Amino acid sequence: MLTRIAVFVSGGGTNLQALLDAERAGKISSGKISLVISSNPDAYALKRAEASRVPGITVSKKEYGTQQAVEEKIIKLLEEYKIDLIVLAGFMTILSESFTKRYPERIINVHPALIPSFCGKGYYGLRVHEEALARGVKVTGATVHFVNEIPDGGRIIAQKAVKVLDSDTPETLQKRVMRLAEWKILPEAVERVSAEIKKEKEGL
């Protein structure tokens, strides 16, 4: 009885690809990626989902009008696909408190810094790396954590450090953090949490 996983995306889907590759390689064996939800109809992540024969569905504010309507549609999809675990992989929408409370320790997110550094509201994408370089940190990295009502405030599942080079730009640092940290710890964390949920489902 595998843990059924939904991955929420907004852009290129490199973290989604890391998860799909990990599942194909048997590194994610306790869960199955069963649904991809995008906030952006043009997200390349949807093409990645299609290539792996995973249903990809867009639920955008533009289409549904309000955050509440978006979340109601997402909840219906999660129920329809019998989803056990939500993975936020570059999802550019802050989920409401009522949504996150509905799924306690069933939503995980990857953040491109070592929480509690460079995190919270407004810290996403390149801004995280720009701030890290501006502060002159010598080590950064990525964090996978559970999601609660506080942006980047949930319990930490995994972290991995990455050295900052003197020659780094925000773009080179972003790419290295993805390659050396995000793409490694996200699949590992998904497998760990999926295994726990699978045990619960099987009543062990």
pLDDT tens, position by position, 47-69: 999 999 999 999 999 999 999 99
Residue 113: pLDDT band with limits 50, 70, 90? very high
Selection from 176, 192, 186, 193 nearest residue 141 by Cα: 176
Domains of the chain: 3-201 (3.40.50.170)
Give the mean pLDDT of 135-163: 96
Q: What is the pLDDT of residue 93?
A: 86
- Residue 132: pLDDT band (50, 70, 90) is very high
Token pair, residue 42, equals 């043009």
Angle between helices 183-201 and 14-24 (to 10 degrees): 60
- Whole-number average pLDDT of the chain: 96
Confidence of residue 204 (pLDDT cuts 50, 70, 90): low
Q: What is the pLDDT of residue 21?
A: 97
Confidence of residue 23 (pLDDT cuts 50, 70, 90): very high
pLDDT of res. 174: 97
Mean pLDDT of 165-172: 97
pLDDT greater at residue 90 or residue 184: 184
111 is catalytic: yes
pLDDT single digits (tens) 58-99: 999 999 999 999 999 999 999 999 999 999 998 988 899 999
Catalytic residue among 48, 111, 145, 198: 111
Q: What is the mean pLDDT of residues 175-203?
A: 96
Q: Which two tokens stand for residue 112?
A: 């491109």
Q: 37 forms bridges with which residues in the sheet?
A: 8, 57
What distance in Å separates the CA atoms of residue 82 and residue 46, rounded to the nearest whole number? Answer: 20
Between helix 44-51 and helix 14-24 the angle, nearest 10°, is 10
User: Beta strand pairing status for 107-111 and 85-88?
Assistant: parallel
Predicted pLDDT of residue 165: 97
